[in-house]
Amino acid sequence: MKIGAMFTDVVSSLFKKPVTEKYPHERYEVPKRFRGRLDWNAENCTGCGICAMDCPANAIEMIVIDKKEKRFVLQYHIDRCTFCAQCVHSCNHGCLVMRADDWELAALNRKFYTKWFGELSDVEYVLAESA
């Protein structure tokens, strides 16, 4: 039975640097597999919509303008996303990826949180339709 069993550890801490990470002045590197914001590569997309069906938070909406011509628009709600990466694995063609470099997603207005993916003309078409 010792009084003060942590003595050596506590006293030697006087001479060590604190382990606190001084975010945001110092940032550590994030690992490659970190699940940040979603990104969509339209090349291989067939418009099947499994990603939208499997999302647990209904954060993805697949809007099909023309299936034969492969004109799709993806609406992604960043504020609903739980960053689970199920859509990445549900997609059979590898169109989706979660970026490890974009994870500081705080914003001051709501508009930042709805992201539209697709050709610019398609996106404008969809927005004009819904207006």
Partner 1 sequence: MGAKMQTNKTDGKFTVPIGPQHPALKEPAFFSINVDGEIVTNAYVRLGYAHRGIEKAAEDRNWVQTLYLLERICGICSHIHSTAYCLGVEKLAGMEVPPRAQAIRVLVAELERIHSHLLWLGVASHEAGFDTLFMYSWRDRETVMDILEGLTGNRVNYSANLLGGVKYDIDSAQADSIRQGLEFLQERLNYYLGIVTSDALFLKRTRGIGRMTRNQAEVLGAVGPTARASNVARDIRIEAPYSAYEHFHVSIILETNGDLEARFVVRIKEMLESCRLINEILDSLPEGELVMRMKRRINPGETVVRVEAPRGELFYFIKSNGTDKPERIKVRTPTICNMSSVVKLAIGSQLADVPVILAGIDPCFSCNDRSVHIDHRSSKTCRWTWEELRKYGIRYYNGDHS
Partner 2 sequence: MEIIRNLFVLLIFPGGLFLLAAGMFYEWVDRKLLSQYQNRIGPRWFQPLADAVKLLANEEVIPEGSNPTLFIVLPVVALAGGITAALYVPMAGFPPAFSFAGDLIVTIYLLSLLTLCMGLAGANTMNRFSLVGATRTLTQLFSYEAPFLLALLGPALAAGSWQISEISAYTTQRWLLFTQPLGFIVALIGLMGKLELPPFDAPEAETEIVAGALTEYSGRGLALFRLGKGVEMVVGLTLIAVFYLGGVSNPLYFLLKTLALLLVVAGLQALLARLRIDQTVGLWWRYGVLLVLVQWLFMIGGRMVL
Using CB under 8 A as the criterion, which residues of the chain lie in contact with partner 2 when the complex forms? 3-4, 6-7, 10-11, 13-14, 16, 18-20, 22
Which one of partner 1, partner 2, none interacts with residue 98, CB within 5 to 8 A by kind? partner 1
Under the binding rule (CB under 8 A), the answer on residue 30 touching partner 1 is: yes
Structure token digits, residue 129: 């339709």
Q: Write down the residue that tokens 């799709």 correspond to.
A: 72
Under the binding rule (CB under 8 A), the answer on residue 35 touching partner 1 is: yes
Question: What CA–CA distance (Å, rounded) separates 89 from 95?
Answer: 10
Cβ pair 63, 72 in contact under 8 A: yes
Question: What CA–CA distance (Å, rounded) separates 111 from 101?
Answer: 21
Name the residues that contact partner 1, by CB under 8 A.
1-6, 9-10, 19, 30-31, 33-35, 53-57, 82-86, 89-90, 98, 100
